Amino acid sequence: MLDELEAPVVLVGHSFGGRVAVCLAATAGGRVGALVLAGVPLVRRDGGPRRPPLGYRAVRALRRLGLVGEERLERARRRHGSADYLRAQGVMRAVLVRVVGESYETELAALTCPVELVWGEHDHEVPVGVAERARAHLRDGRLTVVPGAGHDVVLEAPDVVRGLVEAHLR
């Protein structure tokens, strides 16, 4: 599809969609003119993936031993799972669990286009520290932290995101 466009495009990606945009840009050569990424889990948090709380791990172990039922395990999931995990169902939960630990250092290093990282100051899903570590892998990367915004920075500060996109379209 990118081959059909006359000029390099600016890709915008939020959260998991930003991972897709990074992979596309890393393999698309010069067809991607810039990336604008918001709240994207590109590299692992400090210390690697977060371990589930002890209470949840205990219920999971008891389920494996057949000492508690699936309903009890699901209640523990609802109490301890992230918002994304709780919204996911069926196979999408398994996909989410698998990709949460992925890290994109290789793809970031392969990018040749400018990358704008725009993060909410109060993003608890993907903290600003993740963006700072991701930027270290980029040839041409800048980080904009939006005061007061959270993970949904695209909705909370659309003018900031639009400004970054427009700057690369000129």
Q: Write the pLDDT tens digit of every residue in 79-107.
A: 887 777 888 888 988 888 787 778 999 99
- What is the enclosing helix (H) or strand (E) of 166? helix 158-169
pLDDT tier at 136 (50, 70, 90 boundaries)?
very high
Q: What is the pLDDT of residues 2-44, one digit of tens each?
A: 667 777 899 999 998 999 999 999 998 789 999 999 999 999 8
DSSP reduced 3-state for 22 = helix
pLDDT given for residue 19 in this prediction: 93
| Beta partners for residue 115, in sequence order | 35, 141
Tokens of 91: 């196979």
Cα(35)–Cα(113) distance, rounded to whole angstroms? 7
Q: Higher model confidence: residue 47 or residue 3?
A: 3
Q: Cα torsion for 131, 135, 138, 144, to the nearest 10°?
A: 80
pLDDT at 1: 63
Q: Which domains does the chain have, with CATH numbers?
A: 2-46+102-169 (3.40.50.1820), 54-99 (no CATH)
Q: What is the mean pLDDT of the chain?
A: 90
